[in-house]
């Protein structure tokens, strides 16, 4: 197939998901439109207006995020009717899956049009599990289908691996310290300052980063999910893992990625599409993979997608200049660190989700935008992106800066 390139990728700052959070006054389609306008400003209006499609990942597709959000975004942003719109939900990997879908379509179609793809989640408007899906809202169905809240699966992973709360606090503190240091160095080029209706800037930096975070400061937060586990979900996990006698609840709220608002968008297509639009690519997509895994343990499908990519390409972790690894609860990056032994200087060098937050449908695309910006800042060439989602979904991508 024709190679697919990434011509640009931008993200919003991540705002706290609360009534007075930096982005909370905006509707999801308004936030998306701000990023579309930024891409048009950076790459030319024609490149965006002539796009073939807009694909958006979003998990909570109800309320403010209902009504086919990609279509609503297209209408609000003033994109032509000919721009096809698609809204998808692949849980927390939705944003990266959306980019992969657009890239596959671009390669298979052979046309000379660019495509917009990414994700959004406004958790101040639609909270976690805000769709009240029967799958997890009905107790009998949840038990029959082995549904477990993802935070409890993080505790399951920690139990299986023998991680202590001190271990988790060390990983969490590192994420905050790196993110704070990155912002202290100056503006991250991929982050678009978001303006309100009156034109004033409402948010230009990630709100959840705490510069003074240390393992010692995190020690005051106790384990948070024992009561939830005792409501029946521990029993589901122990049934799936009979070798265990108990689930040791070690994750505190501070060891979870903060719930937040945010969005990210990428502009992808063939080299010919870029030439038609008069713009040059920033990176080539070398490989993509989607995976599924154990729905009870859940947060291992990203590892599976990564393993598929490494096997298919023959690449080793040491070949990558940068790795953006989704910090889906502290146990997950800790498992990556201990099982795979990557060079930690290359892994989330500017912090990750534990510090900056997790706007679910946007997170995969945020990792991509961070990767492109980070490779440019460091002069690196090869990057690996790994994302995990609830109920055992995962996605990975290899990009090469050109």
Query: What pTM was estimated for this model as a whole?
Result: 0.97
Partnered with residue 336 across adjacent β-strands are none
CA pair distance 324, 53, nearest whole angstrom: 26
CA pair distance 236, 298, nearest whole angstrom: 13
Residue 1 confidence (pLDDT)? 46
Angle subtended by helix axes 331-340 and 165-184, to nearest 10: 100
CB-neighbour burial class of residue 1 (10 A; exposed 0-12, middle 13-18, buried 19+):
exposed
CA pair distance 194, 202, nearest whole angstrom: 6
With H, G, I as helix, E, B as strand and everything else as coil, classify residue 111.
Answer: coil
CB-neighbour burial class of residue 193 (10 A; exposed 0-12, middle 13-18, buried 19+):
middle
| pLDDT (tens digit per residue) in 261-303 | 999 999 999 999 999 999 999 999 999 999 999 999 999 999 9
Question: Among positive and negative, which fits the CA dihedral 13, 17, 23, 28?
Answer: positive
CA pair distance 230, 155, nearest whole angstrom: 13
CA pair distance 383, 397, nearest whole angstrom: 8
One pLDDT digit (tens) per residue for the chain, 402 residues: 468 999 999 999 999 999 999 999 999 999 999 999 999 999 999 999 999 999 999 999 999 999 999 999 999 999 999 999 999 999 999 999 999 999 999 998 878 899 999 999 999 999 988 888 888 878 788 888 889 999 999 999 999 999 999 999 999 999 999 999 999 998 789 999 999 989 999 999 999 999 999 999 999 999 999 999 998 899 999 999 999 999 999 999 999 999 999 999 999 999 999 999 999 999 999 999 999 999 999 999 999 999 999 999 999 999 999 999 999 999 999 999 999 999 999 999 999 999 999 999 999 999 999 999 999 999 999 999 999 999 999 999 999 999
> In terms of residues, how long is the chain?
402
């Amino acid at each position: 197939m024709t190679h697919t390139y990434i011509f640009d990728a931008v993200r919003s700052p991540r705002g706290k998901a609360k009534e007075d959070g930096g982005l909370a006054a905006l509707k999801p389609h308004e936030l998306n439109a701000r990023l579309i306008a930024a891409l048009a400003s950076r790459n030319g209006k024609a490149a965006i207006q002539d796009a073939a499609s807009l694909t958006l990942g979003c998990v909570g597709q109800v309320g403010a995020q209902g009504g086919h959000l990609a279509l609503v975004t297209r209408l609000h942003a003033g994109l032509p009717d000919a721009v096809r719109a698609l809204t998808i939900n692949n849980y927390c990997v939705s944003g990266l899956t959306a980019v992969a879908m657009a890239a596959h379509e671009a390669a298979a179609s052979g046309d000379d049009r660019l495509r917009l793809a990414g994700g959004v989640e406004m958790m101040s408007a639609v909270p976690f599990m805000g769709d009240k899906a029967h799958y997890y809202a009905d107790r009998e169905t949840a038990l029959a289908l082995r549904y477990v809240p993802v935070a409890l699966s993080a505790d399951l992973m920690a139990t299986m691996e023998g991680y202590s709360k001190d271990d988790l606090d060390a990983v969490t503190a590192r994420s905050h310290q790196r993110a704070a240091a990155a912002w202290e160095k100056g503006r991250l080029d991929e982050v678009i300052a978001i303006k309100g209706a009156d034109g004033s800037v409402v948010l230009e930096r990630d709100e959840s980063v705490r510069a003074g975070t240390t393992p010692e400061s995190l020690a005051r937060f106790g384990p948070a999910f024992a009561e939830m586990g005792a409501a029946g979900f521990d029993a589901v996990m122990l049934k799936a893992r009979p070798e265990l006698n108990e689930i040791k609840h070690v994750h505190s709220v501070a060891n979870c990625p903060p719930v937040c608002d945010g969005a990210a968008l990428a502009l992808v297509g063939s080299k010919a599409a870029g030439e038609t639009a008069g713009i040059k690519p920033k990176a080539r997509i070398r490989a993509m993979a989607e995976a599924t895994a154990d729905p009870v343990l859940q947060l291992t499908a990203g590892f599976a997608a990564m393993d598929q990519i490494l096997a298919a390409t023959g690449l080793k972790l040491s070949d990558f200049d940068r790795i953006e690894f989704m910090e889906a609860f502290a146990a997950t990056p800790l498992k990556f660190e201990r099982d795979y032994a990557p060079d930690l200087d290359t892994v989330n060098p500017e912090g990750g989700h534990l510090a900056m937050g997790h706007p679910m449908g946007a997170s995969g695309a945020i990792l991509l935008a961070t990767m492109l910006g980070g490779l440019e800042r460091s002069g690196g060439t090869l990057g690996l992106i790994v994302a995990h989602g609830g109920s055992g979904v995962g996605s990975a991508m290899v990009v090469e800066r050109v």
